[in-house]
Chains A and B, each alone.
Chain A
Amino acid sequence: MPISPAADRGRQLYQEHNCVACHQFYGLGGYMGPDLTNVISNRGAAYARAFMAAGTQAMPNFNLRDEELDALVAYLEFVDKTGTYPPENFEVKWYGVVAQEDDPR
């Protein structure tokens, strides 16, 4: 699935604000905030947008404009469709390897 221009702009913003210091995708990134791979499926776009707009006690308010929030939500939606993390349906083989049954591919 190719990335849309809006999602690509969201990716740039994600990098410019160094979100990776606290958040992860597929377990890669910091530990201060939650993994965001499936935040859209799990919580919804409005929930993610509200957090980014206002910040929390742990997360600073980055004073993002509306179009920046839209771009970040588009990016999170893009990531969300690429897979499930952590896997919900999986099979552990006898030799210890995990087969991910909900792999979107």
Chain B
Amino acid sequence: MNTQQQDLLGLRFMRLGMLALSAGLLVGVIGGFQFLFPEFLRELLFTKTRPLHVSLVVAWIFLAAIGGIYFYLPRQRKLKLASYRAVSWHYWIFVVTGLAIIASFLAGKFGGREYLEYPVALSIPIFLSWIIFGVNYFRTVRKEREPWPVYYWMWGTGIVFFFITYLEAYLWVIPYFRDNMVREIMVQWKAYGALTGSWNMLVYGTALYVATRIAGDDKPARSKLAFSLFFLGLFNLMFGWAHHTYLVPSLPWIRTFAYAVSMTELLILGKILWDWRASLESWQKNRYCSAYRFLYAADIWIFINLILALIISVPAWNLYTHGTHITVAHAMGSTIGINTMILLASVYYVLREELPQKVRDGCAGQVTLGFWLANISLGVFFLALIAAGVGKFMYDGPSFQEMMASIRPFLLLFAVSGIGLMVGLWIVLWHAYRLMGTILAADRPVDVKLGLPVGAD
């Protein structure tokens, strides 16, 4: 494998991520309509579509973030990866485990844990892949001679904490944890909250990396503000989860502490991106038009989510919003509005850098259409979920069905806007997928067994 081919391995992760997101959006739309019309595609039960949707979309976030790290380090930071063989292993473990997870859901075999609904045995290769990734990452970045910019710290912390919190999410297999319901719920929320925090580290690190590259100035990634974001993110990763547990009968100090630390992290990330946008010249915005636009959208979604997050983090209000669709709005606003927009910025930044002849200055019309369709639809989607959540907590009767009927118009709006969101993102993804394919096609032939360019180390 030549250097050029080795450097491009990360793009395979990104492309696979785009496929995962495309499929995850489709399953999400199907699930949205099943929510309203349970007879719709009855063979594919909601108990299958929901975990399929969650797993595919989370796979996109990881694949795009990991792919970026595998690409940026050797290609742009000039740090040769410690092992390219490990990257191939990582990729194929992801593919095989992912297919096994999809097959198990379709066959109705579940582990039945919130967010980690696949059979427990499939968590073993996932653990293994993170060890491979972590060892490779740290062996690579230790070769950096300069002090580490903040995104190295964020990526490294994200990897370590993902491993820890993923392990934590499986503590329930030990009877001590699952035999006490309150302990069981607290540990689950702790693990999931911190898991989200750990992938946010990977994604926010990517955001800062792309932002500094577009600006052509690495200083913001070495500033005190950037490191304060890192330490605050780390602090939130460890403690911020607890705002999900106000209503679990846990110790009062945990609730108070969670209230004190929640959501400050988003405020600082928003400030950094805001300052960065103000520092850009118009030629830089034009040159990296699509990447800039997605980062801009992420910035707007940060502030929207921040307002919602601050509201639902006040325990007295959380009392009403917890367990309603408002929590879903918060999750969707974060995973699509913030994480996906940042990762699409990363994808389009790569395309602009690698294909200067094909991706010229300015934004392609197709991408512009997809961008606006996705963001406007996401806005409607987000508001519909909030309205449904308000309807749920305002409902004062004893019947769950009656409550669901009362919020049905909002759920219908949510499902229809989901179609717009899916189509908008499909347009953006298809354009990027094709272009990234041309970058990879330039490096054939491919080793059929490995599915990677001939001569992988």
Contacts and interface: CB of A to CB of B under 8 A. Distances in A.
Interface in A66-105: 78-79, 82-87, 90, 92, 96-100, 103-105
Interface string B238-265: 0000001011110010011001000000
A16 to B, nearest CB: 6
Contact of A17 (B110, B113, B180, B327): B110
Contact of B247 (A2, A8, A86): A86
Interface in B1-56: 35, 38-39, 42, 45-48, 50-51
B179 interface: yes
Interface string B97-125: 00000000000001111100100000000
Interface residues of B, number: 45
Contacts of B246: 98
B183 to A, nearest CB: 10
- State the majority secondary structure of interface residues on B: helix
Given A17-B112, A97-B256, A35 B323 contact: yes
A50 interface: no
A4 B249 CA distance: 21
A28 B114 contact: yes
B189 A28 contact: yes
A34 interface: yes
Contacts of A20: 112-114, 117
Contacts of A19: 47, 112
Contacts of B181: 3, 25, 78-79, 82-83
B113 A85 contact: no
A86 B112 contact: no
B179 A83 contact: no
Contacts of B178: 3, 11
B182 interface: yes
A96 to B, nearest CB: 5
A15 B111 contact: yes
A19 B39 CA distance: 18
Nearest to A75: B181
Contacts of B51: 18, 21
Question: Which of A24, A32, A85, A90 has the most C-beta atoms of chain B within 10 angstroms of its own C-beta?
Answer: A32
B47 A17 contact: yes
A96 B259 contact: yes
A57 B404 CA distance: 13
A83 B248 contact: yes
Contacts of A83: 181-182, 248-249
Interface stretch (B225-233, B311-319, B357-365): B311-319
Given A22-B46, A86-B323, A96-B259, 5 more contacts: A29-B114, A60-B47, A82-B182, A92-B319, A105-B249
9 contacts: A2-B179, A3-B179, A11-B178, A24-B323, A27-B244, A28-B114, A28-B189, A30-B46, A86-B322
